[in-house]
Amino acid sequence: MRPTPESNEPAGHGAAERLAEEAATWFLRMRSPAVDAHAEQHFRRWLGASESHRREYGNFEKLWGALDSVARPRPRQKRRTGGALAIVAALALGMIYHAQTVDRPESSKIGEVRHLMLEDGSQVELDAASELRVEYTPWRRHIELVRGQALFKVAPGWRPFEVQAAGGSLRDIGTTFNVLQDEGKVSVAVAEGAVEISLADGRQRQLHGGEQASYQAGEIAASRVVNPLNVGVWQQERWIFEDASLGEVVRQINRQHARPLCLAGAGLENYRVSGVFDRSDRAGLLKALTVLLPLRIEEKAEATQLRRR
């Protein structure tokens, strides 16, 4: 799993707990027979990021060595194995005790982008007019994206990190990824690491850094290559649309700007839009749409309308 840059030099009790959890997670993961080169690369990066990381990891190595010597069966000393297992169990229970139970909603207003720091050190950039629910228990880290868009930077942890959106579940495998939910269609783009998409009927697909896919109504579309630097580009006040429906574009605009924009005419929803646009320049974007498509703008008291020319 991918450590966050902010964990380099922890300060304070909460940061110390997160560092201990990170070190324990890496320690156990690197002893798994299933560890791969990708995980080892992330581990080396985490270990080399800070002296505090190396020190905490060394503490677990020493503790494990001490427990291993106690637990190793010897003549007339087999009873001591149970004591070592009890110590290991106590350590596990201690980690569970510190895994705080949280259940709360988070939302943003039209035009508002929020930065959320979660209890385990994971970070969420919540886009405008979006909503999610954070559910952390001693056994899992679960986020439900109710509507809108969010960029996740997941901190290491022994509990699984999952994002649920529109009937699908996204399991983090150490990554930074963006999720957009739009009218039942969910688009997932991975900047770094990997994400596993799982649907209710058992269909699955794994995405790696620089890949994007969407799912809707029980179907997962084919993945495609994207520039990792463009994942979450909306934070830089830009929209990048690639063959997006006009309906999706309008809904994006309405999350960012207070004056409603609507389509006045059958079939306009399915017009396709591609290009790079300034999120803050509503007027400029509307003008660009009238150049790209056979549309005209009509201002009404209650909303701006896009009509066919």
pLDDT tens digits, one per residue of 17-76: 677 777 777 877 787 777 778 778 888 888 888 888 888 788 777 766 655 555 555 555
Residue 282 has pLDDT above 80, yes or no: yes
Cα gap 207→178, rounded to integer Å: 12
Residue 13 has pLDDT above 60, yes or no: no
Token pair, residue 228, equals 């990792």
User: Which CATH fold topology does 237-308 show?
Assistant: Phage tail protein beta-alpha-beta fold (3.55.50)
Q: Measured on CA atoms in the order 174, 17, 23, 9, is the torsion positive or negative?
A: positive
3-state secondary structure of 202: coil
Pick from 237, 238, 205, 200: which is nearest to 224 by CA? 205
> CA 268, 269, 270, 276: dihedral to nearest 10 degrees?
100
Token pair, residue 184, equals 């039942």
Cα gap 225→26, rounded to integer Å: 30
Residue 81: band (very low, low, confident or very high) from pLDDT cuts 50, 70, 90: very low
For the chain, the domains span 5-98, 102-225, 237-308
> Is domain 102-225 classified as CATH 3.30.365.10?
no
